[in-house]
């Protein structure tokens, strides 16, 4: 099966065409800075400026650069599936309307996902389209983990609960880790750390998500590139009352100007921050310490929730590439038998052909792994499963 994967972010579009059986990637393209004059499309080694383009225009332009004749199905990443969608589903008019109705729960992401669905269905109306939801993997969260401590009538009226995100990635790397360890996923207790511009951590017990750091929105939890993660709600009340910030200004502050960017004052990219920290920049040094401390705190909590852990997994941009972050976190995990192998950690490198690297010692009771995430391949697999 040849699957076209459409992954629309709030300001980006990623298009992949993959062969499901072999995993071969036939085509890849990415549009960045959608909606701005700096918008551009990158296909292989060449770049095409596309100033002011929206998602539909970007997708149309990408489609013009490749043949879609061999495509047999289309898989779409959808960030928020609410309570209604607990698994991937074939898209029809009813499903499309339901995704639109969920926009209030993910105002930055679902409109972009919907734009991608509509553009692709317009160009490929005779192919099956499947929605794969970031939230679906977390539908197994127990009530005590997904329920916020506010009035029941407000929770039910406005759909207020923890949904969790990055589920496609967490599920993918958990499966890869189980394969590497030659274990049945249903026999393992795993902690998966998805660390990129967006960050989340999930406790995967016997193949099911039982705790996760992101909540009703992708804002809760770990420190991220530009998102604050956990914050005292009283801070928001103070900023409203004394700094005069409006709801929209608070939204922009917490989602776009906080996290690593807010802490460092220079960048949301951990590579830039690590370089400046090594040169003595105290704000960047603090940003790294706060980032690692928050992650360590969650790991400890999830060990308690599952009464132990068999492996801890690092994935996504920071998780796969920052040996320094992994070291700062793992050096505090010896109390339950997790031992980092410093040389393995420094030399760890993962890709599609070698998706897992062991970075713990041979005698470590808890395995420490770096696992390459690949949402495009994960969406391809889930699309194939739905259609079969």
Q: Annotated catalytic sites, by residue?
A: 134
- Between 282-306 and 270-278, two packed helices, what is the crossing angle to 10 degrees? 120
Closest C-alpha to 216, from 233, 204, 237 = 233
Q: Say if strands 356-358 and 367-371 run parallel, antiparallel, or are unpaired.
A: antiparallel
Identify the sign of the CA torsion 201, 95, 26, 11.
Answer: negative
What whole-number distance in Å separates Cα of residue 337 and Cα of residue 303? 12
CB 202 within 8 A of CB 247: no
What whole-number distance in Å separates Cα of residue 94 and Cα of residue 100? 10
Q: How far is CA 255 from CA 197, 248, 271, 297, in A?
A: 11, 11, 20, 22
Q: Say if strands 189-195 and 46-49 run parallel, antiparallel, or are unpaired.
A: unpaired
CB 222 within 8 A of CB 295: yes
């Amino acid at each position: 099966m040849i699957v076209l994967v459409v992954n629309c972010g709030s300001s980006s579009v990623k298009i992949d065409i993959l062969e499901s059986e072999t995993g071969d990637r036939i085509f890849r393209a990415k549009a960045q800075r959608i909606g701005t004059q700096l918008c551009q499309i990158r296909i292989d080694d060449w770049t095409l400026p596309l100033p002011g383009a929206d998602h539909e225009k970007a997708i149309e332009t990408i489609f013009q650069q490749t043949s879609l004749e061999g495509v047999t199905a289309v898989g779409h990443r959808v960030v928020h599936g609410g309570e209604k969608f607990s698994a991937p589903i074939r898209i029809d008019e009813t499903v499309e309307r339901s995704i639109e109705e969920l926009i209030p729960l993910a105002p930055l992401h679902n409109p972009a996902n919907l734009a991608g669905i509509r553009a692709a269905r317009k160009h490929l109306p005779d192919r099956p389209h499947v929605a794969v939801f970031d939230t679906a993997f977390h539908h197994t969260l127990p009530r005590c983990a997904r329920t916020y401590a506010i009035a029941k009538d407000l929770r039910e009226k406005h759909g207020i609960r923890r949904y969790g995100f990055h589920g496609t990635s967490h599920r993918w790397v958990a499966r890869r880790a189980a394969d590497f360890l030659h274990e049945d996923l249903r026999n393992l207790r795993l902690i998966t750390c998805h660390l990129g511009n967006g960050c989340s951590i999930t406790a995967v017990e016997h193949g099911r998500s039982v705790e996760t750091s992101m909540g009703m929105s992708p804002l809760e939890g770990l420190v991220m590139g530009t998102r604050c993660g956990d914050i005292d709600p009283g801070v928001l009340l103070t900023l409203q009352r004394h700094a005069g910030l409006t709801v929209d200004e608070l939204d922009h502050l917490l989602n776009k100007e906080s996290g690593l960017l807010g802490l460092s004052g220079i960048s949301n990219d951990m590579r830039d921050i690590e370089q400046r920290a090594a040169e003595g920049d105290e704000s960047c040094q603090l940003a790294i310490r706060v980032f690692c401390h928050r992650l360590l705190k969650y790991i400890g909590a999830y060990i308690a929730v599952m009464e132990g852990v068999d492996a801890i997994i690092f994935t996504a941009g920071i998780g796969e590439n920052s040996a320094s972050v992994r070291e700062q976190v793992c050096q505090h995990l010896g109390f339950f038998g997790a031992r980092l192998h410093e040389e393995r950690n420094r030399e760890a490198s993962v890709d599609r052909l070698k998706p897992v690297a062991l970075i713990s010692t041979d005698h470590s009771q808890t395995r420490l792994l770096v696992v390459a995430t690949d949402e495009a391949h994960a969406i391809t697999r889930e699309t194939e499963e739905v259609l079969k």
